Structure 1
Amino acid sequence: MQRLLELLTMEQDWSSEMMEMKELSSILQQNGIVGAGGAGFPTYAKLDERAETIILNCAECEPLLRLHRQLLEKYAQEIVETFHMMGQAVGAKEVVIGIKKAYKKTIEALNEVIGDYPEVRLGLLNEVYPAGDEVVLIYEVTGKVVRPGGLPIESGVAVFNVETVYNVYRALNQETPVVDKLVSVVAEVENPVTVRVPIGTTIEEVVRLAGGVTTKDPVYFIGGPMMGFIGSGSQPVTKTTNAVLVLPEDHLIIQKKRRKSSIDLKRAAACCCQCTMCTDLCPRNRLGHPIEPHLFMRAATCKDLQEPNIFINTMFCSSCGLCEMYSCMQGLSPRSLMAEYKAGLRANGIKPPQGVVPKPVGEEREYRKVPMERLMARLDLTKYDREAPLDEFAVPVRKVKILLSQHIGAPASAVVKRGDKVARGHLIAEPAKGLSVGIHASIDGIVSDVNEKYIIIETQEGRAGNE
Structure 2
Amino acid sequence: MEIKELQDIIQQNGVVGAGGAGFPTYMKLTDKANTILMNCAECEPLLKLHRQLLEKHAYEIMKTFHMIQETVGASEAIIGIKKSYVQTIHALNQHIEEFPGMRLHLLDEVYPMGDEVVLIYEATGRVVRPGGLPIEQGVAVFNVETVYNVYRAVEEKQPVTDKYVSVVAEVSDPVTVRVPLGCTLEEVVAQAGSTTVKNPVYFVGGPMMGRIGNGSDPVTKTTNAILVLPKDHLIVAKKQRTSSIDLKRAASICCQCNTCTDLCPRHNLGHPIDPAKFMRAASNNDFRDLNPYIDASFCSSCGVCEMYSCPQSLAPRSLLADMKGGLRKAGIRPPQGVQPKPVQESREYRKVPEERLMARLGLTRYDKDAPLKEELVQVKKVRILLSQHIGAPAQAVVKAGDEVTRGQMIAQPAQGLSVGIHASVSGKVTEVTDRYIIIAVK
Q: Under TM normalisation by the shorter chain, which class is it?
A: over 0.9
Query: Cα distance, 1:362 vs. partner?
Result: 2.5
Q: TM-score, normalised to structure 1's length?
A: 0.94
Q: Does 1:254 align with 2:236?
A: yes
Is 1:49 paired with 2:51? Answer: no
Aligned twin of 1:331: 313
- Residue in 2 that maps onto 1:207: 189
- Deviation string 1:385-444 (CA, Å, 9 cap, x unpaired) is 000000011211110000000000000000000000000000000000000000000001
Aligned to 1:453: 435
The answer to whether the aligner puts 1:263 opposite 2:245 as a matched pair is yes
Q: Distance in 1 between matches of 2:105 and 2:37?
A: 9
CA displacement 1:290-341 (0-9 Å, x = unmatched): 1000000000011111111110001000000000000000000000000001
Instruction: Tell me how far 1:233 sits from its aligned partner.
Output: 0.2
Partner of 2:63: 81
- Superposed CA deviations along residues 229-265 of structure 1, whole A, max 9, x for unmatched, are 0000000000000000000000000000001001100
For residues 106 and 429 of structure 2, what CA distance do their matches in structure 1 show? 47
Show the counterpart of 2:284: 302
Aligned partner of 2:345 in structure 1 is 363
Does residue 62 of the first structure (1) align with residue 34 of the second (2)? no
The structure 2 residue matched to 1:407, chosen from 389, 394, 418, is: 389
> Structure 2: how far apart are the matches of 1:203 and 1:429?
23
Q: Which moved more, 1:357-366 or 1:21-30?
A: 357-366
What is residue 272 of structure 2 aligned with on the other side?
Answer: 290
**Counterparts of 2:19 and 2:411, CA distance in 1:** 21
Tell me the equivalent position of 1:12.
none
Alignment partners' CA distance in 1, 2:231 and 2:292: 35
SS in 1 for 2:51: helix
Q: Give deviations 1:88-133, integer Å, cap 9, x for gaps.
A: 1111011000000000000000011110112000111000000000
Q: Structure 1 vs Structure 2: percent identity of aligned residues?
A: 69
How many angstroms apart in 2 are the aligned matches of 1:372 and 1:421?
48
* SS of equivalent residue, structure 1 residue 146: coil
SS at match of 2:104: strand
CA distance in 2, matches of 1:56, 1:355: 27
The alignment status of 1:25 with 2:7, answered yes or no, reads yes
Q: Check if 1:110 corresponds to 2:92.
A: yes
Q: Distance in 2 between matches of 1:448 and 1:356?
A: 50
- 1:217 aligns with one of 165, 181, 199: 199
Matched, 1:90 2:90: no
**What is the rounded CA distance, in whole Å, between the counterparts of 2:424 and 2:83 in structure 1?**
36
Q: Distance in 1 between matches of 2:209 and 2:360?
A: 15
Whole-Å Cα distance in 2 between the matches of residues 400 and 422 of structure 1?
13
Which one of 375, 386, 397 corresponds to residue 379 of structure 2? 397
1:33 Cα deviation after fit: 0.2
C-alpha deviations, 1:39-89, integer Å up to 9, x for none? Answer: 000000000111010000000010000000000001000000000000111
Partners in 2 of 1:118 and 1:88 — Cα distance? 10
Matches within 5 A, 1:96-175: 96-175=78-157
- Please tell me the residue identity of whatever aligns with 1:353: P
Q: AA paired with 2:226?
A: V
Q: State the SS of the aligned residue for 2:341.
A: coil
Take 2:229 and 2:135, find their aligned partners in 1: how far apart are those partners? Answer: 38
Q: 2: CA distance between counterparts of 1:126 and 1:242?
A: 22
Give 4+ residue runs of structure 1 displaced > 6 Å after superposition. Answer: none
Deviates more, 1:408-417 or 1:348-357: 348-357
Q: Distance in 2 between matches of 1:272 and 1:46?
A: 42
Match of 1:384 among 366, 382, 397: 366
SS across alignment from 1:217: coil
Q: Which amino acid aligns with 1:215?
A: V
Which one-letter code corresponds to 2:103 in the other structure? Answer: R
Secondary structure at the aligned position of 1:209 is classed as: helix
Amino acid at match of 2:81: I
Residues 269-293 of structure 1 deviation map (CA, whole Å, 9 limit, x = unaligned): 0011110000000000000001000
Tell me the equivalent position of 1:243: 225
Residues 1:432 and 2:426 are matched in the alignment: no
Q: Which amino acid aligns with 1:329?
A: P
Deviations 1:162-217 (Å, cap 9, x if unpaired)?
00000000011111100000000000001000000000010000000000200011
TM-score, with length taken from structure 2 = 1.00
- Aligned residues: CA RMSD: 0.5
Query: Equivalents in 1 of 2:382, 2:229: separation in Å?
Result: 25
Secondary structure at the residue paired with 2:216?
coil
- The alpha-carbon deviation at position 363 of structure 1 amounts to 2.2
C-alpha separation in 1, matches of 2:377 and 2:48: 20
Distance, in Å, in 2 between the alignment partners of 1:398 and 1:142 is: 47
Structure 2 portions without partners, runs of 5+: none
